[in-house]
Amino acid sequence: MINTQQNLRPSIERLGEGIYQELYELAKPYLDTRSNDIHTRIAFTCAKELLKFYPDADQAVVLAAIILHDVGWKMVPESRQLTAFGPKMKDPDLRRVHEVEGVRIASEIMVAADYDFSKREEILLIIEGHDSRDTALSLNDKLLKDADKLWRFTQTSVEIYHQRFLMGLQEYMDWLEGRIENWFFTPEADRLARETLAELQMNLT
Ligand SMILES: [Fe+2]
Ligand SMILES: [Fe+2]
């Protein structure tokens, strides 16, 4: 049996070599909030896993977008972040702030990294609606959205977030299970989410 939890584990500190590591280093000062450093590294692994199934997707768009998509959270006060996402979200305007600020900061980071100019506009469009837009603009957008959510099913995320949301472990896993059907665009992300959750149910309860 494939151990999905194992496959979705991030490399410890680095994303790899080259331009993605460079983007990540530039993003790091904006990721030290809301556990976004570990979220970004695991979501990066999830995106690479999903890209294996979609050779026609543009890796240079999806991977840069996943590294940069949440840098805007740094502009949202930590005391207010929990009202802006998750099961108890009641402030969609604040969630919107992290997208809009994210576009601004991601743009600056791509300039600093001299990232492929022809990819930047699409990356920023994806970041701009990565949480608030329910539809996907493209295959690249679908993979970004699915990788972003797939991380929630990893052990690291479940352990962090059931506590942060003040929910019991089983209660939180049940909540996650109920979201699978509507969250994912690709059948592969849907399957990986179900597999990781089944493994967690076995290991954690
Ligand atoms: Fe986000
Ligand atoms: Fe995210």
CATH number at residue 53: 1.10.3210.10
pTM score of the predicted model: 0.92
Q: Look at residue 178 and give its three-state secondary structure.
A: helix
* Nearest bound ligand to the CA of residue 151: 2
Q: What is the largest CA-CA distance in the chain?
A: 48
Q: How far is the CA of 69 from the centre of ligand 2 (A)?
A: 6
The protein residues having their C-beta less than 5 angstroms from ligand 2 (an ion) are: 70, 148
**Domain enclosing residue 149, as ranges:** 4-204
pLDDT tens-digit map of 7-42: 776 654 567 779 999 999 999 999 999 899 999 999
Q: What is the mean pLDDT of the chain?
A: 91
Instruction: Please say whether the beta carbons of 61 and 138 come within 8 A.
Output: no
Query: Tell me, what's the pLDDT at 2?
Result: 46
Indicate the number of domains in the chain.
Answer: 1
* Nearest bound ligand to the CA of residue 39: 2
Regions of the chain short of the pLDDT cut 70: 1-5, 9-14, 205
Q: How far is the CA of 202 from the centre of ligand 2 (A)?
A: 26
Q: How many helices (H) and strands (E) does the chain have?
A: 11, 0
